[in-house]
């Protein structure tokens, strides 16, 4: 349907032919400025010569983690989604997951898509990718089963959450509910998940004390070799942003839950009188950083007035953490005595003591996992209502604007191929701004994406397509340089990037069919 709708435009487009790469030397290199410690201990910038990877290797790396799935559903809608990721950290700290919960009669679905941007390690993001969807689904099933929509049963939720580490909730048909109740349920699931995450190492310590693992010589137990305890500590002290999209096909609702600075952007197809149409850009989330004035105001309101100058410093929470909302990050949440106790119990004995919190740390918590939930109505049965949603960690948004992303996706769905100049694409795939959102990256965004240069339309996978264009697109030399920087150095030039694109088509046959495509290398 996308290609039919775009055919009049696509047919009139003249684009570049296939891209060919020519190598004149086997030992192509480039120079990179690198900050190093000099002999006197001071840091200085030196130029390091690095080899340029061949395009064959770069294409393989860009495409190796790409997946694509299509689900034709009995209610006449075909769901498509792609996901791709590219590491800068070693190992990658991003994660992602998706799940489709079908009603018993097959007439409706709940579709969940998530991306997670980890920091200070991958422990929190990996845990979230395995369990957060299930935690939200459990909270929603409790809402559906309760006529009063009461979410006060903390014990049952906590017990159920721990069971989700190895078990998914059963499918359930979700009855009538309202937008505020669902939004509140999602918020509470995020908050309760984080509470359990932070309480886990404390619970293991309490159990050790109850079992009498103490002595006069050791009034505090040494659990530095307790595998479960160390695992829960690592998940609590590292951190992760989280972004979730929930499509409720029965009520035709879309919910976006954002904790942190990952971003969701929708492209909405609007036919025009000339028969061509335009893509509206709808930013569905706000970057929750200490550069967002709303978040700065919230943070200052939650702490005593004498901390107003210290809660946010240099665009960071207490001068240290950039996202103002995140899972984990216990250094910004546990009281100081708790941090000191758990450090002694778990970390000192294995030689990995906790970093102390910032000097201005006084009245925790300074960071919350509570998401901001936004809602949009869908028109799934309208063949002319073409829409897509892009979920991505901030590695993508550091380089590309929402308008550029919508234009790149819209052009891909139109069937564009080859390379197209950045100055030309907006006239081929026009956009307008429906909602610009709040940019919490002001002053941080990189400048590689300009009106000069080329976009590349050479990847079948939409998510890989966006990652390639974030890092150079059709400008081979730029792409090769940024992709040739090894881990350890690359983090100064690009972040981990994870992208999920979801789009749908109405008017499809009712036969149920699912197709999964792996990356083509």
Residue 518 pLDDT = 52
Q: Are 329 and 241 in contact (CB under 8 A)?
A: no
Question: Token pair of 246, please?
Answer: 């929930």
Residue 285 DSSP class: -
Residue 508 pLDDT = 53
Q: SS3 of 175, please?
A: coil
Domain boundaries, the chain: 2-93+263-284+386-518
Instruction: Give how far Cα 118 sits from Cα of 91, 92, 287, 335, 350, Å.
Output: 11, 9, 15, 23, 23
Beta strand 29-37 pairing with 372-377: unpaired
CA atoms of 174 and 507, how far apart (whole Å): 24
Residue 349 pLDDT = 93
Q: SS3 of 37, please?
A: strand
pLDDT in tens, the chain (521 residues): 333 333 323 322 333 333 333 333 456 898 898 888 777 778 888 898 999 999 999 999 999 999 999 999 988 899 999 999 999 999 999 999 999 998 877 788 999 999 999 999 999 999 999 999 999 999 998 887 773 434 344 444 444 433 443 344 444 444 446 899 999 999 999 999 999 999 999 999 999 888 876 665 677 889 999 999 999 999 999 999 999 999 999 999 999 999 999 999 999 998 888 878 899 999 999 999 999 999 999 999 999 999 999 999 999 999 999 999 999 999 999 999 999 999 999 999 999 999 999 999 999 999 999 999 999 999 887 766 668 999 999 999 999 999 999 999 999 999 999 999 999 999 999 999 998 888 877 655 554 545 689 999 999 999 999 999 999 999 999 999 999 999 989 998 999 999 999 999 886 543 334 444 454 43
Tell me the β-bridge partners of 110: 101, 248
Q: Are 347 and 224 in contact (CB under 8 A)?
A: yes
Residue 44 pLDDT = 85
Residue 360 DSSP class: T
Q: What are phi and psi of 145, to 5 degrees?
A: -85, -10
Q: SS3 of 104, please?
A: coil
CA atoms of 368 and 259, how far apart (whole Å): 8
Q: Can you give the length of the chain in residues?
A: 521
Q: Please write the tens of the pLDDT for every residue from 322-347.
A: 999 999 999 999 999 999 999 999 99
Q: Kindly report whether the global pTM for this prediction surpasses the value 0.75.
A: yes
């Amino acid at each position: 349907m996308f290609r039919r709708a775009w055919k009049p435009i696509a047919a009139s487009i003249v684009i570049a032919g296939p891209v060919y790469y020519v190598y004149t030397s086997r030992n192509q290199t480039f120079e990179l400025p690198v900050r190093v410690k000099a002999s006197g201990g001071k840091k200085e910038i030196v130029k390091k010569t690095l080899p340029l990877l061949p395009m064959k290797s770069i294409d393989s790396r860009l495409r190796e983690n790409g997946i694509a799935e299509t689900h034709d559903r009995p209610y006449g809608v075909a769901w498509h989604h792609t996901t791709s990721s590219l590491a800068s950290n070693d190992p990658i700290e991003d994660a992602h997951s998706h799940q489709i919960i079908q009603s018993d009669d097959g007439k409706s679905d709940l579709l969940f898509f998530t991306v997670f941007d980890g920091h200070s390690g991958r422990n929190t993001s990996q845990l979230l990718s395995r369990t957060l969807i299930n935690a939200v689904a459990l909270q929603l099933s409790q809402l559906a089963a309760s006529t009063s929509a009461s979410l006060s049963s903390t014990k049952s939720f906590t017990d159920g959450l721990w069971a989700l580490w190895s078990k998914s909730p059963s499918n359930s048909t979700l009855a009538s509910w309202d937008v505020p109740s669902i939004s509140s349920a999602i918020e509470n699931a995020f908050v309760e998940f984080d509470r359990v995450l932070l309480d886990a190492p404390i619970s293991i310590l309490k159990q050790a004390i109850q079992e009498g693992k103490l002595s006069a010589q050791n009034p505090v137990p040494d659990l530095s070799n307790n595998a479960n305890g160390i695992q829960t500590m690592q998940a609590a002290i590292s951190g992760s942003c989280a972004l979730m999209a929930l499509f409720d096909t029965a009520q035709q609702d879309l919910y976006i839950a954002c904790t942190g600075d990952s971003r969701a952007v929708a492209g909405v197809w609007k036919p025009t009188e000339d028969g061509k149409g335009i893509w509206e850009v709808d930013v569905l989330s706000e970057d929750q950083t200490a550069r967002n004035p709303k978040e700065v105001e919230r943070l200052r309101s939650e702490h005593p007035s004498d901390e107003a100058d210290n809660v946010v410093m240099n665009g960071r929470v207490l001068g240290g953490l950039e996202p103002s909302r995140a899972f984990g990050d216990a250094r910004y949440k546990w009281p100081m005595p708790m941090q000191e106790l758990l450090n002694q119990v778990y970390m000192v004995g294995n030689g990995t003591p906790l970093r102390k919190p910032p000097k201005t740390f006084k009245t925790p918590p300074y960071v919350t996992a509570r998401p901001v939930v936004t809602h949009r109505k869908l028109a799934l049965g309208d063949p002319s209502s073409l829409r897509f949603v892009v979920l991505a960690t901030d590695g993508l948004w550091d380089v590309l604007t929402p308008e550029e992303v919508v234009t790149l996706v819209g052009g891909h769905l139109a069937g564009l191929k080859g390379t197209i100049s950045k100055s030309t694409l907006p006239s081929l795939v026009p956009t307008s701004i429906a909602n610009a959102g709040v940019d919490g990256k002001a002053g941080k965004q990189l400048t590689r994406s300009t009106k000069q240069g080329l976009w590349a339309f050479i990847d079948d996978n939409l998510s890989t397509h966006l990652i390639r264009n974030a890092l150079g697109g059709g400008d081979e030399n730029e792409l090769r340089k940024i992709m040739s920087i090894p881990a350890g150095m690359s983090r100064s030039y690009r972040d981990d990037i994870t992208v999920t694109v979801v789009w749908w088509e109405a008017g499809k046959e009712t036969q149920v069919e699912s197709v999964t495509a792996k990356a083509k290398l």
